[in-house]
Amino acid sequence: MVLAEGTSAPDFKLMGTDNGAHSLSDYRGKKVVLYFYPKDDTPGCTKEACSFRDSMESIKSDDTVVLGVSKDTVMSHIKFTNKYNLNFMLLADMTGKVHEEYGVVGKKSMWGKSFLGTVRSTFIIDRKGKIVKVFSPVNVDGHSDEVIEALRNVA
C-alpha cells in the first residue's frame, strides 16, 4: 500500500551517484521530490528522468531537490546519469527496503507474466518531512509539469 498524503516520510540512507550516503533527513528544510522508477536506461524511465532534468530550473527555483530511486546499482545510476546528463541525485535501493517502506512494490505484468515490481510513484515531501502529494501509478507524459504544479501549493 502506497504511503498516504499527510503521513511522515520514512527516513532512509542510500548511496547516491556521488558515491556518498544520502538520508532523507539530510534535506530537511527543503522540499523533496522523491520518485521511484523501475530501471535505469529503459524507455519510460529515461523519458521520466529527462523530463525532470529539463524541468530542473523551475523545480530548483522552488527550493526543491529531486531524488530518483530504483533498485539498480550505483554504477548503473552513474552510467545512466552520464549518458543523459542528469542534474539530480539517483539513489540505489538494491535491497528494495525503501521501496517496501514507501509501498511502491506491486503486482505488474509484462508479456502475459505477472511479477512483483516497482510501481512508478512520486512523493512530494514538505520541508518538515511530511508527504503532501502522492502520484501513483505515474503516467510519464506530462508528469514533471504535474509535479511543478503541485510544488506551487507546498509551503
Per-residue pLDDT tens over the stretch 106-129: 887 778 888 788 999 999 999 999
Q: Which pLDDT score is estimated for 63?
A: 85
What is the dotted CATH code of the domain comprising 30-151? 3.40.30.10
- Given a cut of 90, whether residue 11 has pLDDT beyond it is yes
Q: Which pLDDT score is estimated for 18?
A: 96
Q: Which pLDDT score is estimated for 31?
A: 96
Q: Which pLDDT score is estimated for 110?
A: 73
pTM: 0.94
The chain-wide mean pLDDT, for the chain, equals: 94
Q: Which pLDDT score is estimated for 15?
A: 98
- Given a cut of 90, whether residue 2 has pLDDT beyond it is no
* Annotation marks residue 45 as catalytic: yes
Alpha-carbon distance 4 to 15, whole Å?
25
- Given a cut of 80, whether residue 5 has pLDDT beyond it is yes
3-class secondary-structure state, position 53: helix
> Is residue 38 reached through a cis peptide bond, with omega within 30 degrees of 0 on the bond before it?
no
Q: What percent of the chain has pLDDT over 70?
A: 100
Alpha-carbon distance 118 to 105, whole Å?
5
| Cβ contact 14:93 at 8 Å | yes
Residue 62, H or E segment: none
Give CA 59 to chain center in angstroms: 14
Q: Which of 101, 82, 100, 155 is nearest to 124 (CA)?
A: 155
Marked catalytic residue, from 3, 9, 24, 45: 45
Alpha-carbon distance 137 to 40, whole Å?
18
Alpha-carbon distance 125 to 10, whole Å?
10
Q: What angle do CA 22, 25, 31 make, to 5 degrees?
A: 100
Tens of pLDDT, residues 36-87: 999 999 999 999 999 999 999 989 877 899 999 999 999 999 999 999 999 9
Residue 136's contacts (CB-CB under 8 Å, 6 or more residues apart) are 2, 104, 119, 120, 121, 122
Annotated domain spans of the chain: 30-151
Q: Which pLDDT score is estimated for 106?
A: 87
